[in-house]
Amino acid sequence: MRLRPLNFYEPEEPAVSLLAEITTELNIVLGLLVDGEYPALESMTKSKNLAAVEMRAAVETYGRTLARAAGR
């Protein structure tokens, strides 16, 4: 088996696909946070992590305004 130098490494297709999937899911979650859709986030996690009221309190305690990046 011949190894390629690291500077020629190209990720395998599954890794690229996984990154795209994670990016999509992260954008969905961030969009719901920006929109204040805490019950939807709670539903997505099946209430295993934080309740909607806890998420709202965390965002309010954060003290800054959540907003979408320009062009999104």
pLDDT in tens, 4-41: 555 555 555 666 688 888 888 999 999 999 999 999 99
Give the span between the Cα atoms of 31 and 53, in whole angstroms: 17
- Enumerate the domain spans of the chain: 37-66
Which amino acid is it at 62? Y
Give the span between the Cα atoms of 7 and 11, in whole angstroms: 12
pLDDT grade for 68, boundaries at 50, 70 and 90: confident
Residue 72 pLDDT > 70, yes or no? no
Residue 2 pLDDT > 60, yes or no? no
Predicted model pTM = 0.68
Which amino acid is it at 12? E
Largest CA distance in the chain: 56
Taking alpha carbons only, the member of 28, 37, 31, 29 closest to residue 56 is: 37
When pLDDT is averaged across residues 35-62 and rounded to a whole number, the result is: 91
